Structure 1
Amino acid sequence: MGLYEFFYKYFVLPIKENQGYNPVNTVTYAIILGIAVILLYKMLKRMGIRVDDRFFKALIPYIILGPLMRGMTDVGILPRTYLTVSPGGYFVIAAFAIASLYVVWKHIGPGEKLYPLYRDFGWILVGGLLFVLVINLDRVSFNWKALGYFVPFLIIAEAFIWLIAKKAPLIADNKTLFYTHFYDATTTFVGIQFFGFWEQHVLARWLMDTLGTPAVMYLEKFFILLPVVWILDREMKDEDPDLINFVKLTVFILGFGPGTRNLLIMLMGGG
């Protein structure tokens, strides 16, 4: 198999035919993500931008932008191309977020004015997508009954984290991450169990096939997150707090983005 055939089989074809992820592209994208996190962290340090609550709040519209674009693609409002589905769509959103941050920083520097201006520019982008959604509402078949499944299971899942956090300080210190990823797990469980969705990720697919239920997503999320936060909070406690916060921000996005995308697809009648 030549290089082109290899690339086409493991990277192009899965996107073109909506096959989901495979072991090869999963590992490759994970490596790219790791490198991107390090490079972006170094970029923020050079720009004098702290990864704190101000930065997180300013980043919220860009975090919403990704799943909104993907949801609108999956229901046919936006064209399905390599730049509107994962991982290409997330590269596009990341490029918008980084470019916007650089432009704002270049004009006003890393001071207090940067965060609201950067945030507002992001909301303008979200507003543009919402406008496209509104003028295409006739192409959306809203499925509000999805909330009847989603809300009860979400309450149960988040109540579990709340109870565990009362006994486990490590989870209590990172409860936002656990809440977010159990939100993602709930959208996956409900989508597959009740609405005929299918799982795109390799490990999750294997676990579901092995145990015969999408509820295994909760276990997967919990037992992946636990060592991650242990390493960040215990083994790396002497590292730069901005690095720890940026990695946690990345973990948050990896839960919130797919979860919100799943929820939007269910509500908009996609699949």
Structure 2
Amino acid sequence: MGLQEFFQKYFIDPIKYNQGYNPVNTLTYAVILGIAVLLLYRFLKRLNVRVDERFFVALMPYIFLGPLMRAITDIGMLPRTYLTVSPGAYFVIAAFAIAALLMVWRHVGPGEKLYPLYRDVGFLLVGGLLFILVINLDKVNFRWEYFKYFIPSFLAAEFFIWLLSKRFKLVRNNSVLFYTHFYDATTTFVGIQFFGYWEQHVLARTLINLTGTAAVMYLIKLAVLIPVVWILDVEMKDEDPDLINFVKLAMFILGFGPGTRNLLITLMGVGT
């Protein structure tokens, strides 16, 4: 198999034919993500931008951009290309977020004015996608019954995390991550269990097929989150706190983004 055929089989066709992820592209994207996190962290340090609560709040509109763009792409409001579905869509959103940050930073510098102005630019971008959605609402077939399954499942999942946070300090100190990833697990569980969707990620798809239920997503989340946050909080406790915060921010995005995408495409009636 030549290089072109290899790239076509493992990277192009899965997007073109909506085949989901495979071991090759999963590993490749994971390596790219790790490198990107480190480069972006160094980029923020050079700009003297602290990765704190102010930055997290300012970044939220950009985090919402990805799942919103994916949802309106799946409906047909945007063309389905490598740049409008994952993982390409996340590179596009990251490029917008970095460009906006640079623009605002050059205008006001790294001071207090940076964060609200950066947030507002993000809201403008979200507003643009929402405008596209509003003028194409005739293409949307909302499934309001979705909430009949999502709300009780979500409440039960989050209550379980609340119980864990009362007992375990590691969960309590990282409760936002656990709540967010159980939100993601819930959207996956509801979409697969009640609306006929399928899991795109190869390991999760395999475990769902083996167990016969998408509820295994909750166990997968715990199996991944607990060792990762333990490493960050215990083994890396003497590292730069901004680096730890940025890694946790990336983890939050990996839960909130896919979870919100799942919620939107199921709620908006995108076909399985």
Separation (CA, whole Å) in 2 of partners of 1:210 and 1:141: 32
The one-letter amino acid of 1:117's match is: L
The one-letter code of the counterpart of 1:87 is P
CA distance in 2, matches of 1:262, 1:75: 13
Q: CA deviation at 1:76?
A: 1.5
What is residue 94 of structure 1 aligned with on the other side?
94
Separation (CA, whole Å) in 2 of partners of 1:250 and 1:148: 31
Aligned to 2:163: 163
| Corresponding residue for residue 81 of structure 2 | 81
Cα RMSD (Å): 0.6
Matched, 1:20 2:20: yes
Q: Does 1:119 align with 2:116?
A: no
Q: Distance in 1 between matches of 2:7 and 2:81?
A: 17
| C-alpha displacement of 1:9 | 0.6
One-letter code of the match for 2:198?
Answer: W
For residue 112 of structure 2, give the secondary structure of its aligned residue in structure 1.
Answer: coil
Task: Give the total of aligned pairs.
Answer: 271
Aligned equivalents of 1:10 and 1:61: distance in 2? 32
> What is the CA-CA distance between 1:210 and the residue it aligns to?
1.1
Letter in 1 for 2:146: A
Which residues of structure 1 form unaligned runs of 5+?
Answer: none
Write out per-residue CA displacement over residues 67-101 of structure 1, whole angstroms, 9 at most, x where no aligned residue. Answer: 00001111222111111000011110000001110
SS of corresponding position for 2:177: helix
- AA partner of residue 159 (structure 1): F
Give the distance between the partners of 1:147 and 1:229, measured in 2 at CA.
31
Deviation readout 1:76-128 (Å, 9 max, x if unpaired): 22111111000011110000001110111112110111101100000000001
1:141 aligned to 2:141?
yes
CA–CA distance in structure 2, aligned partners of residues 188 and 46 of structure 1: 38
Residue 150 (structure 2) aligns with:
150
**Alignment partner, residue 180 of structure 1:** 180
Question: How far did residue 266 of structure 1 move?
Answer: 1.1
Runs of 4+, deviation exceeding 6 Å: none
1:209 is aligned to 2:209: yes
**Residues of 2 paired with 1:270 and 1:182: CA distance?**
22
> Following the alignment from structure 1 to structure 2, what is the Cα–Cα distance between the partners of residues 78 and 151?
29
Query: Is 1:262 paired with 2:262?
Result: yes
Give, in angstroms, the shift of residue 202 of structure 1: 0.7
Q: CA deviation at 1:218?
A: 0.3
Q: Distance in 2 between matches of 1:149 and 1:33?
A: 33
Give 1:3 shift.
0.7
